[in-house]
Structure 1
Amino acid sequence: MTRPPTAAQRRVIEAADPVTGRLRGTADQLAALVTRGLAFRHPRPPHDHFLTPAGHRIRETVPEAPAGPPPDTGVFAARSGGEETPLPSGPARRREVHSAWQGLLELRRMTNPDGSVDRPCGWERANLVRAAALALEAAGQRPADPEAAGYRVRATPQPEAVAVHAPDPRTLAVCAAVLERAGWQAGEYTEPRTGTRYLLASPRRV
């Protein structure tokens, strides 16, 4: 079994860009992560280092902080809707979302075999809710919060599929169009017991 990363290596992994997986660290730290298969060196200048799928899994298993208000780390987080606090808004949030979306497009370019940016990549398939939420917010849609109605992105039992719920059918239609432009397949369905309409969306492979 591969030895777990050292404390210093784990700190480098935890500090990776949450969307692209871009790493920052000493040359020795980055080389050690490459040797362990947790990172790779991009062949094109400036030859930055990025987490591999195995590195992303290590990052996802980082123990959660104790319950309480999260610290302001400055790390971007996509909002899936239904959060208990009002959503951030304004120019600063729009810049964060735009930067995260551009980073995701770059990740697609680097990791899709054909360099395509119009089709979801492996990171998105491993982080379905976060990826769909980012695509929606980057297109100007607003997730639900205590102060406003909007969409909610939720995991489903189906592999590679998320559900998008919204009280307004028009919002569902707009979300479907946004996700399709972002490289997802989306269709409307009806919950048999409640008659509630929702979207089922999954990343397109071709």
Structure 2
Amino acid sequence: MKPLTAAQRRIVEAADPETGRLSGSEAQLTALVRARLAFRHPRPPHAFFLTPAGHRVREEGTAAAAAPEPSPAPEAPEASQGFAARTGAETAPHAVEGPARAREVRTAWEGLVELRRMTNADGARDRPCAWERTHLVRAAALALEAAGCRPAAPGREGYRVEATPQPEAVAVREPTQEGLRACGAALERAGWQVSEHAEPRAGSRSRYVLASPRRK
């Protein structure tokens, strides 16, 4: 990626620190989109915002991010390079945490909601779309992380999302009953059908949530 011009750097540095909203001429902002440091929101007033890579450029004060990411495209929330919803099965420490990760998750979730609007026949935003039904584990994990639930990580307890033999269903496990119920409630708000079950193993007191994307 080409180094930013002085004008582009000023635009990036002047972005809103929370939302990443940008101000500048159409040509300048379009150039940042081409550089994968900004994206244009699909809904009016079609404002421009920093991508996660753009936020890193702004925060680090560098001419380019080490691993630039494209804007979260409506085609799929995982289209952005370097972003993946956390399922709790990761074995390596998370590279991005705190406000930077929260921004990545918020951007990916907004992209998924827009994908719902564009691909559901009735334009519904509160009901999972076809992409989610073909990426069950990642979709459920994104819904959980966007709702503020904490995924498991090395040395840290949290939720785990796992595939199941059942069609269009994932299992969500959490070490505490309170946490498990919070995960179930978060998925329900995101348009999933959930039910709580006991582990099939004899003598086990553990419970898990079975979740499926709601169709109506």
| TM-score normalised by the chain length of structure 1 | 0.65
Q: Which residue of 1 aligns with 2:83?
A: 76
Report SS of the residue matched to 2:155: coil
Matched, 1:151 2:159: yes
Amino acid at match of 1:180: E
**Alpha-carbon contact 2:74-2:111 (below 8 Å) kept:** no
Structure 1 spans left out of the alignment, 5+ residues: 1-23, 26-41, 60-72
Amino acid at match of 1:198: Y
Within 2, Cα distance between the matches of 1:143 and 1:120?
Answer: 21
Aligned pair partner of 1:173 in 173, 177, 181: 181
**CA apart distance, 1:192:** 2.5
**Alpha-carbon contact 2:163-2:171 (below 8 Å) kept:** yes
Within 2, Cα distance between the matches of 1:133 and 1:199?
Answer: 13
Q: Give the RMSD, CA atoms, in angstroms.
A: 2.7
Q: 1:91 to 1:50 in 2, by over 3 A?
A: closer
Report SS of the residue matched to 2:86: coil
C-alpha deviations, 1:167-203, integer Å up to 9, x for none? 1111100000000000001111001213320000000
Q: Which residue of 2 aligns with 1:64?
A: none
Q: Quick one: higher RCO (CA 8 Å, sep 6+), 1 or 2?
A: 1
**CA apart distance, 1:74:** 4.2
C-alpha deviations, 1:92-131, integer Å up to 9, x for none? 1100000000000000000000000000000000000000
Report SS of the residue matched to 2:88: coil
Within 2, Cα distance between the matches of 1:143 and 1:114?
Answer: 32
**CA apart distance, 1:83:** 1.0
Q: Which residue of 2 aligns with 1:198?
A: 208
**Alpha-carbon contact 1:150-1:166 (below 8 Å) kept:** yes
Report SS of the residue matched to 2:91: coil
Larger CA Rg, structure 1 vs 2: 2
Within 1, Cα distance between the matches of 2:162 and 2:91?
Answer: 15
| Identical-pair percentage | 62
Number of equivalent positions: 146
C-alpha deviations, 1:6-50, integer Å up to 9, x for none? xxxxxxxxxxxxxxxxxx99xxxxxxxxxxxxxxxx9xxx9xx97
| TM-score normalised by the chain length of structure 2 | 0.62
Question: Which moves more between the two structures, 178-187 or 74-83?
Answer: 74-83
Within 2, Cα distance between the matches of 1:201 and 1:128?
Answer: 9
Q: Which residue of 1 aligns with 2:109?
A: 101
**CA apart distance, 1:147:** 2.3
Within 1, Cα distance between the matches of 2:197 and 2:81?
Answer: 37
Structure 2 spans left out of the alignment, 5+ residues: 1-32, 35-41, 47-72
1:44-193 superposed matches below 5 A: 74-87=81-94, 88-193=96-201
